[in-house]
Amino acid sequence: MSRHRHPRTIAVTVMAAALGVFGTISASTTPVALPATISASTTPAAPASAAPTHAPFAATSRHPFDDAKYWSSIFDDPARDVWQKPADVVAALGLRPGMRVADLGAGTGYFSRYLSAAVGTGGTVFAVDTEPNLVARLRERAEQEHTANVTPVLASFDDPRLPAASIDVVLIVDTYHHLDARLGYLTRLRGALKPHGRVAIVEWQAKPLPVGPPLEHKLAREQVIEEMQAAGYRLVAEPPILPYQYVLLFEAP
């Protein structure tokens, strides 16, 4: 699959807010059949305060994340803790010692130590990313933080490259809107889950916010729910724990 590299003239405020790391996934050239629950019809123009309607299963943002040093300064900014609440997000996952969890779009490893502590020395954290420079950073961070149970994974753009039927929980923070051709991707992801495994998606509320990406990059929670249901998942919880993002927990069959 080809990459769509945007020039680095993107405004710093936009890049700093786009906290997902699958931004270089290219647009699919294969038509995707729409499920009956997602309309492909033309809708009236939305007011300026509302997020636009997006094509089902298509990425809304594509730009590179290969500068690990730069993105470390953004993703790991202590100010992020105030609104991202990493400890609260991980607590909502219901992890137990010995579990295997995947951080899909792990970036620079912002969530790594929280997930590592939650699953304990007998568990495993697969820190997954498509950017080789970020995967190298994930390895360095695991060594620095002495989180021996964190395993960095270099994923493909269309495949998370996780072991089959082995993952208890997948965490996807600020990354879902970067994934392209999502129906196929989410179906492959389901194959990595244990029976009744869960997927937690944290994405930006589709309205103007003091932090986050441009409005046109955001996905309405209703679209995420419809897409996940089309891929065979069931919504089981929606903890109201974050000020600017929704948190959706899904279960696989």
What residue spans define the domains of the chain? Answer: 12-25+56-251
Alpha helices in 155-205 (DSSP H): 182-192
Provide the pLDDT for residue 65: 76
Contact 102, 186 (CB under 8 A): no
**How is domain 12-25+56-251 classified at the CATH fold level?**
Rossmann fold (3.40.50)
pLDDT band at 197 (very low <50, low <70, confident <90, very high): very high
Amino acid 48 reads A
User: What is the average per-residue pLDDT within 121-129?
Assistant: 98
The answer to whether 108 and 145 have CB atoms below 8 angstroms apart is no
Other CB atoms within a 10 A radius of the CB of residue 77 amount to 12
User: Which SS3 state, helix, strand or coil, does residue 76 take?
Assistant: coil
pTM of the model as a whole: 0.80
Look at residue 132 in the predicted model and tell me its pLDDT.
96
**Model pLDDT, residue 1:** 32
Residue 203 bridge partners (DSSP)? 246
Give the pLDDT band of residue 219 (cuts 50, 70, 90): very high
Q: At what angle do helices 221-230 and 182-192 cross, to 10 degrees?
A: 60
Q: What is the pLDDT of residues 66-81, one digit of tens each?
A: 777 887 878 999 999 9
Two tokens at 80? 């992020």
Predicted pLDDT at 99: 98
Look at 22-26, 100-104, 171-175, 176-180 and tell me which has the smallest mean pLDDT.
22-26
Q: What angle do CA 119, 195, 190 make, to 5 degrees?
A: 90
Q: Measure the CA angle with vertex 234, ends 231 and 235; round to 5°.
A: 120
pLDDT-based confidence at residue 50 (cuts at 50, 70, 90) = low
- Alpha carbon distance 175, 203 (integer Å): 7
Is the CB of residue 182 less than 8 Å from the CB of residue 231? Answer: yes
On the CB side of 34, how many CA atoms lie within 13 Å of its CA? 11
Query: What pLDDT shows up at residue 177?
Result: 94
Which helix (H) or strand (E) segment holds residue 171: the answer is strand 167-173
* Of the listed ranges 5-19, 66-80, 98-112, 188-202, the one predicted with least confidence: 5-19
